[in-house]
Structure 1
Amino acid sequence: MIPEKRGELRMLTLYKEKAPVSGVLFDMDGLVVDSEWMYSRFWREACMVYGFPMTKAQSLQMRSLNHTLGQKKLHALFGEKADYETIRKKRIELMDAYVLENGVAPKPGIFELLDALDARHIPRAVTSSSPQTRIRAYLEPLGLYHRFGTIVTAYDVPHGKPEPDIYLKGAQVLGLTPGSCLALEDSPSGILSASRAGCLSVVIPDQDQPDEDTLSRVYARADSLRDIIGLL
């Protein structure tokens, strides 16, 4: 059941009473940079290379899943004959080649939001399933890498999303409690991770709209990163 909507700020919908915010935890793909669509595209292309036609809807089910769950999901879609490691390696190869030629764009509002956090002296961290090398490769050319106090990846914790480890670690390195941190996400798996950690989870839809199960877990829903300023 979707929680009762308590109020709206600009293009922001609150589902719970407004709470004080001491820190902000950012997913990266589809949230800080416009890269989530590439995962969808290149999962499909990689699967096709090995004879497994994947739909866009199926590719979106692979978002932000840790290694174990990603493998289970791929096997659920195509059976164990679909080798997860081989297909994932091809997806990374295709995606890296695209990014090398075309780069990655920032999501609208990221610079304004970071400026607002600076003005309010609010610490922030990236909490991403991507490896450190990819995070740096995507953020540094945009002048964003050094604007985050710290970077926490799925490789820094025992369990990746949708388990809560990455958000618990993100709050810890900022010296804050999870309940005092906004956790900004675009995917169901990420929202589940953040809500399990006890963060103030906010969904900012990217590739699709959140379903009722996802909305039942969130503190707020926003149309863009600019709207998050209304929560600070």
Structure 2
Amino acid sequence: MARARQERAEITRQAILDGAARAFDTAGFGITSLSDIAQEAGVTKGALYFHFSSKEALARALMADQFDVASVIEAADRPGVQTAVDLTHRMAYDLRTSVRVRAGVRLVIELGSFTDPNPSVYNKWIETVRDCLAPAQGRGDIKPEVNVADIAIHVVGAFAGVQIMSQVRTGREDLHRRVADMWSFLLPGIVPSRRLSRFDPTGSPGLRASLSLPSADQETVAVG
């Protein structure tokens, strides 16, 4: 019986998170109320409060639950420049297909609305990108004069801006193209010219195949 109760509680918790994601994705943190979330999730406010003490606690759970950027490095045999490129395309894909990721990213951007903003999610993204680029610099894939920590901050900030613009202009329909453009403009500044052809701003063939993205020859993106 205890196990059955735990399973029901977890089902309710996930329903609340799904409902909160839909509500936050639609209206953002400031406008969305706990009543909105309970209605969207199909639960009572009592059930909601049993699992989450506040709207901010729900928001933080969604931010923590979004795409696990660290898993990209763990899955890579040799993290490097292409890993960082693929990371942004993977996030772009999840933004287009997962309401939880969309809500989580929107909430990260709206951190200023929180009573106690916590930059840990941004820092995690930045650390992950840096951990891709640092070994790449050691292998000569990044110019020695480049500060990889600064580049990681720039990549995360640029991606955040690109995805917002894509959402406003096209509902993120052109997000992968815009991300590819971002890398097309950035790579020549950080990668030695003799190694530039090793990296594809549209994503690696394996990533494009796994996400059913257009092949490189279908993208009109020029590097260099």
TM range (shorter): 0.3 to 0.5
- More strand by proportion, 1 or 2? 1
Q: Which has the larger radius of gyration?
A: 2
TM-score (norm 1): 0.32
Structure showing the higher helix proportion among its residues? 2
